[in-house]
Structure 1
Amino acid sequence: MVLQDLGRRINSAVSDLTRSPNLDEKAFDGMIKEICKALLDADVNVKLVQSLRISIKRTVNFKDIPPAVNKKRLIQKAVFDELVKLVDPHAEPFKPKKGKPNVIMFVGLQGAGKTTTCTKLARHYQTRGFKSCLVCADTFRAGAFDQLKQNATKAKIPYFGSLTSTDPAQVAAEGVAKFKKERFEIIIVDTSGRHRQEKDLFDEMTQIQSAIKPDQTIMVLDATIGQQAEAQSKAFKETADYGAIIITKTDGHASGGGAISAVAATHTPIAFMGTGEHMLDLERFSPQPFVSKLLGMGDVAGLVEHVQALKLDQKDTMKHLAEGVFTVRDLRDQLQNIMKMGPLSKMAGMIPGLGQMMGGMDDEEGSMKMKRMIYICDSMTNKELDSDGKMFVDQPTRMTRVALGSGTSVREVEELLSQRQVMGQMAKRVGGMSKNMNKAQGAMGGNNKKQQMAAMQQRMQSMGQKGAPGGEAGMAEMMKMLGGMGGGGGGMPDLSKMMSSLGGLGGMGGMGGGPAGRGGRR
C-alpha cells in the first residue's frame, strides 16, 4: 500500500533507536539518516527532507537535554511532530453549509480518478444528511458522461450531463443552475483531465470556474505520480487556485511521497484520501491521525467514523442483548456487519498496533473464512437460527446436515457454535447488568440517569473486555483471533473477542461504547 512501506521504515528506525542500550548522539544521527532515506525513496522532495532533518536535530539537542528528561520519549515526540508539520498546511479545508447550495469543482490530471472520486465525495456528504448531486462537465473524454452516469446510478445520486454539447462551461452552468433551482446542497462538477502544458485546456478550466463560480475547487492528485506531483500541483494552483487536495490510489504499491511534497509546496490542505475502488473507500484526512496511522499508532477516531457511516442495523441484536440473549442469527448478523467494514488491512491501519501484528496476513483468506461461517448459518433452518444452539448438541445429525449443505466440515460447525456459546455468556452478563440498572433507576425515580449510564458503560468496558479500542491487551487478544484467519489451518476466528474489541464502534452496540463514540465525533 502507498506510504505503508514508508511508515514501516520510519517506525522501525525510531523503534531501533529507542530500544538501543546506548542512546547517544551517534545512534540518533543514524536514525535521522534512515528516516531521511525512507522519505527520499518515497519520492518526498529533497528540500523538504533536508528541512525535516534540520528541525528534528534542532528539537533534540543532546547537549541541552537535562539528565532527568526521558530521551526516548523526546525523540519519539520530535519525529511525530515534524512529520505532522510536513503534511499540515495550517489551513482549514472548506466545510459545506446545510440549507444552501455548495458548488464544488474538481480539477486534475488525466487518469487521476476524478470521476470516481466525485461520486465518492457526493455519497460521503449524502450519508451525512446533505442533498448531493453530480454534474459532468467533461465533454473531452469519450465515455466520461457514461462513467459518471453509471457511478451515480449505482450510488443513487442525481446527475446531469449532455451527450451532444461540446462546451463544458455551458454544460456546467446549466447543471449547476438546474440543481440550485431544485435546492440541492452539494453540487459537484466533474471536469476534463488536463496537463500543465495544455494551455487551451487550462483556459477552458478558468472558463468553467467563471461560469459556475464554485465555493470550493478541489485538485485530485494521483498518489503514484511521484516527483511530478509538485510541479503539476503548482501549475494548477496558479491557474485554478484550488482550496483542497484529494489524494487517490493510496491502495497501490508505488511511492506516495510526491503527494506529500505537493501539499507542502502549495500550502493546501488534503481534504480526503482515496483508499480503494469501493464507494466507501474515501477517508477524511487529518494530519495527526494520518501520521499516527503511518507510524502504526492507529486512528481510532477514523475507525469510529467509518463504522458510523456504514449505518449498521443493530436493532434486533441490541434488543436481544438487553434481554441477555444471543442467538445463532445474531452471530450471523454480526459476521455480515464485520464483512461490511472492509478488508482487514484497512481496519488494521486504524487500530493501534494491529498493522504490525498482522504482518503479511492475506485479506482474501481472512474474508473467505468469514464467508464460510456465514454459509454455515445460511444452511440452518429458521428454528436453528433463532435458537441458542443447544439443539445441535442434543441432535448431532443437524451438524452433519448443515456441514453438507454449506460445503464445510462438522468441525467448523462445532467451532461456530462454540463462538455463539461464548458470546451468549457475554450477552447474559450484559442483560443482567441492564436489568440491575433499570431496577436502580426505578428505585431512584429515574434521577441521575446520565450518571448511571456512564457508570454502566465503564463497568461494561472493564467486564472481561480489555479489547476496547486503544487498549494494548485487547489488541493482543484480537490478534490471537485474527491469527487463525491468516494461518490457513481452517480454524475459525474468535468472534467474541472481535465483537468485544469493536463494541464501542458499532459492532455490538452499547458494549463499552461511551468514550469511543464520543471521541469519534468531529
Structure 2
Amino acid sequence: MVLQDLGRRINAAVGDLTRSNNLDEKAFDDMLKEICAALLSADVNVKLVQSLRKQIKASVNFASLPSAVNKKRLIQKTVFDQLVSLVDPHAEPFRPKKGRPNVIMFVGLQGAGKTTTCTKLARHYQTRGFKTALVCADTFRAGAFDQLKQNATKAKIPYYGSLTQTDPAIVAAEGVAKFKKERFEIIIVDTSGRHKQEEDLFTEMTQIQTAITPDQTILVMDGSIGQAAEVQASAFKATADFGAIIITKTDGNAAGGGAISAVAATHTPIIFLGTGEHMMDLERFEPKAFIQKLLGMGDIAGLVEHVQAVTKDSATAKETYKHITEGIYTVRDFRENITSIMKMGPLSKLSGMIPGLSNLTAGLDDEDGSLKLRRMIYLFDSMTAAELDSDGKIFVEQPSRIVRIACGSGTTVREVEDLLSQHRMMAGMAKKVGGQKKQMQRAQNMLKGGNKEQQMAAMQKRMAAMGGAGGMPGMGGMGGMGDMAKMMQMLQGQGGGGGGMPGLGGMDLQSMMSQMSGLMGGGGGGGRGGRR
C-alpha cells in the first residue's frame, strides 16, 4: 500500500532510538537521517524534508534540555507533531449544507480517477442524507459519459450528460441548472483530464467554472504521481484555485509522498483518500489520524465509521461491551472479534486502522492474511462450549485439551498455544479497562455529593497516576491508561445506542485492546498466531 513502507521506516527509526541505552545527540541525528531518507525515497519534496528536519532539531535541542525531561518521550512527540504538520495545511475545507444546492467541480490530470471518485463522493454524501446528482462535463474523452452513467446507475444516483453537445461549459451549466431546479443538495460536476501544458484545456476549465460558479473545486491527484505533484498542483491552483484535494489509488505500490508535497505547496487540505476500486473505498482524511495510521497506531475513529457503514448487527457488540465493563474477556469474545474482522473487507485496508493487526499480518497479502485468520477460526471451532466461555485457565489446568484442539482442527499445538497467548494478553487488557470503568463510576458517584471541587481534584490526581505510564505522545488524547475510558465512551456513543455499541459488530474491543497493548509496549495484537 502507498506510504506503508514509509511508515514502517519512520516507526523503526523512532523505535530504535527510544530503545537505545545511549540516547545522545549522535543517536538523535542518525534517527533524523533515516526519517529524511525514508521521506525522500517516498517522493516527498526535498525542501519539505529539509524544513521538517530543521523543525524537529529546533524542538529537541539537547544542549538546553533540563535533566528532568524525558528525552525519549519528547522525541516521540516532536516527530509525531511535525509529521502531522507536514500533511496539515491548517485550512478548513468547504462543508456542504443541507437544504440548499452545493455545486462541486472536479479537476485533475488524465487518468487520475476523477470519474470514479465523483461517484464515490456522491455516494458518500448520499449515505449521509444528502440528495446527490452527477453531471458529466467531460466531452473530450470517448466513453467518459458511459462510464459515469454506469457508475451512477450502479450507485442509484441521478446523472446528466450529452452525447451530442461538445461544449463542456454548456453541458455543465445545463446539468447544474436542471438539478438545482429539482432541489438537489449535492451536484458534482466531472470534467476532462488536463495537463498544465495544455493551455486550451486550462482555458476551458475556467470557462466551466464561470458557467457553474462551484461552491468547491476539488483537485483529484493520483497517489503515484511522484515529484511532478507539486508543479501540477501549483498550476491547477493558479488557474482553478481549488479548495481541496482527493488523493486516489493509495492502495497501489507507488511511493505516494509526492501528493503530500502538493498539500504543502498549495496550502490546501486533503479531504479524502481513494483506497480501492469499490464505491465504499473512500476514506475521510484527518491529519492526526493519518499519521497515527502511518506509524501503526491505528485509526479508531476511521475504523468505527467503516464498521458502521458495513454492518448493522449490534448483538455481539452489546455482549462484548458488557463483558469488558466487568473486566471479562472470554475465548468466545476473541472468536467473535476475529470473525468480525473477516467480515469487514480486505485485510490490507483494516490493518492500518486496527492497532496491533498490522503486526499480526505483517508481510502478508490479503489472501495470506485471510488464510491466517481462517486458521484461527478452525481452532475456535474445535473447542467445546465450556472452553469458549472460559477465561482460558482451563487450558493451563488441562493441557491435553490443547492437543485435542490441534488434532481436531488440522493445525499444530504451536498454533493453539499462540492463539491462547494472544487471548491471555487481551484478557489482561480487558481486566485493566474494566477496572478503569469502575474507577470512573466511583468518581461519578463521588461527584454527586459533597465538595465537588475537592473530589474532582482527587479524581484527576488518581486518573493521572493511572495514566502516567502512557505511550506514544501526540495520540490525540489516547496516550495512557487514564484516557482509555475516553475512547470507551467515544466508541459507546457511536451510533447513538445507549448501553452498547450498535454497528460495531464486536470489533470495538479488538481495536481498543490492541490500542492499549500497543501503548503499553505489549506489541498490539501482533502475537504469533498462525503457522510460521
Contact (CA 8 Å) 1:56, 1:78: kept in 2 or not? yes
What is the number of equivalent residue pairs in this alignment? Answer: 428
Query: Superposed, which structure 2 residues align to 1:435-514 within 5 Å?
Result: 468=513, 470-472=515-517, 478-480=525-527, 483-484=529-530, 487=531
Cα separation, partners in 2 of 1:338 and 1:412, compared to 1, 3 Å? farther
User: Which of 351, 354, 364 is 2:354 aligned to?
Assistant: 351
Cα separation, partners in 2 of 1:209 and 1:71, compared to 1, 3 Å? same
1:360 and 2:386 are equivalent in the alignment: no
CA distance in 2, matches of 1:282, 1:274: 5
Query: Superposed, which structure 2 residues align to 1:70-81 within 5 Å?
Result: 70-81=70-81
Cα separation, partners in 2 of 1:3 and 1:321, compared to 1, 3 Å? closer
Cα separation, partners in 2 of 1:50 and 1:164, compared to 1, 3 Å? same
Query: Superposed, which structure 2 residues align to 1:25-424 within 5 Å?
Result: 25-310=25-310, 312-314=311-313, 338-367=341-370, 411=409
Identity %: 71
Cα separation, partners in 2 of 1:143 and 1:466, compared to 1, 3 Å? closer
Alignment partner of 2:69: what SS?
Answer: coil
CA shift, 1:344, in A, is 1.5
- Unaligned segments of structure 1, at least 5 residues: 325-329, 376-387, 391-408, 414-418, 427-449, 489-522
CA distance in 1, matches of 2:315, 2:14: 47
**Deviating more after overlay: 313-322 vs 280-289:** 313-322
CA shift, 1:218, in A, is 0.1
Contact (CA 8 Å) 1:467, 1:478: kept in 2 or not? no
Cα separation, partners in 2 of 1:51 and 1:374, compared to 1, 3 Å? closer
Cα separation, partners in 2 of 1:237 and 1:321, compared to 1, 3 Å? closer
What is the match of residue 6 of structure 1? Answer: 6
Cα separation, partners in 2 of 1:244 and 1:197, compared to 1, 3 Å? same
Alignment partner of 2:352: what SS?
Answer: helix
Alignment partner of 2:271: what SS?
Answer: strand
CA distance in 1, matches of 2:376, 2:62: 56
CA shift, 1:43, in A, is 0.9
Contact (CA 8 Å) 1:196, 1:236: kept in 2 or not? yes
**Deviating more after overlay: 351-360 vs 315-324:** 315-324
CA distance in 2, matches of 1:132, 1:155: 11
Which structure ranks higher in relative contact order (CA pairs < 8 Å, sequence separation ≥ 6)? 2
* AA aligned opposite 2:75: I
Q: Deviations over 1:110-132 (max 9, x none)?
A: 00010111111111111111111
Contact (CA 8 Å) 1:224, 1:249: kept in 2 or not? yes
CA distance in 1, matches of 2:293, 2:141: 37
CA shift, 1:223, in A, is 1.1
What is the match of residue 452 of structure 2? Answer: none
Q: Deviations over 1:213-265 (max 9, x none)?
A: 10000000111011100000000000000000001111111111111111000
Alignment partner of 1:470: what SS?
Answer: helix
CA shift, 1:351, in A, is 1.7
Cα separation, partners in 2 of 1:41 and 1:315, compared to 1, 3 Å? closer
CA shift, 1:352, in A, is 2.1
Contact (CA 8 Å) 2:106, 2:189: kept in 1 or not? yes
Contact (CA 8 Å) 2:135, 2:188: kept in 1 or not? yes
CA distance in 1, matches of 2:197, 2:511: 57
CA distance in 2, matches of 1:466, 1:272: 22
Alignment partner of 1:283: what SS?
Answer: strand
Cα separation, partners in 2 of 1:468 and 1:184, compared to 1, 3 Å? farther
CA distance in 1, matches of 2:105, 2:49: 32
Contact (CA 8 Å) 1:467, 1:477: kept in 2 or not? no
CA distance in 2, matches of 1:321, 1:295: 28
Alignment partner of 2:515: what SS?
Answer: coil
CA distance in 2, matches of 1:374, 1:457: 25
CA distance in 2, matches of 1:307, 1:354: 16
Cα separation, partners in 2 of 1:472 and 1:184, compared to 1, 3 Å? same
* AA aligned opposite 1:96: P
Q: Deviations over 1:157-178 (max 9, x none)?
A: 1111111111111111111111
CA shift, 1:183, in A, is 1.3
What is the match of residue 328 of structure 2? Answer: none
CA distance in 1, matches of 2:322, 2:70: 50
CA distance in 1, matches of 2:55, 2:353: 28
* AA aligned opposite 1:253: N
1:18 and 2:63 are equivalent in the alignment: no
Contact (CA 8 Å) 2:296, 2:358: kept in 1 or not? yes
- RMSD over aligned Cα, in angstroms? 4.3
Q: Deviations over 1:335-354 (max 9, x none)?
A: 88644422112111112243
Alignment partner of 1:163: what SS?
Answer: coil
CA shift, 1:468, in A, is 3.8
Contact (CA 8 Å) 1:218, 1:242: kept in 2 or not? yes
Query: Superposed, which structure 2 residues align to 1:420-439 within 5 Å?
Result: none
CA distance in 2, matches of 1:323, 1:22: 45
CA shift, 1:268, in A, is 0.3
What is the match of residue 494 of structure 1? Answer: none
**Deviating more after overlay: 361-370 vs 224-233:** 361-370
CA distance in 2, matches of 1:9, 1:237: 32
Alignment partner of 2:207: what SS?
Answer: helix
**Taking structure 1 as the reference length, what is the TM-score of the superposition?**
0.72
Q: Deviations over 1:178-200 (max 9, x none)?
A: 11111111111100000000011
Cα separation, partners in 2 of 1:61 and 1:211, compared to 1, 3 Å? same
Contact (CA 8 Å) 1:92, 1:269: kept in 2 or not? yes
What is the match of residue 381 of structure 1? Answer: none
**Taking structure 2 as the reference length, what is the TM-score of the superposition?**
0.71
Contact (CA 8 Å) 1:250, 1:256: kept in 2 or not? yes
Alignment partner of 1:245: what SS?
Answer: strand
CA shift, 1:309, in A, is 2.2
**Deviating more after overlay: 342-351 vs 211-220:** 342-351
Contact (CA 8 Å) 2:317, 2:500: kept in 1 or not? no
CA shift, 1:356, in A, is 3.4
CA shift, 1:370, in A, is 6.7
* AA aligned opposite 2:313: Q
**Deviating more after overlay: 36-45 vs 229-238:** 36-45
Alignment partner of 1:92: what SS?
Answer: coil
CA shift, 1:35, in A, is 0.9
* AA aligned opposite 2:346: P
CA distance in 1, matches of 2:173, 2:307: 37
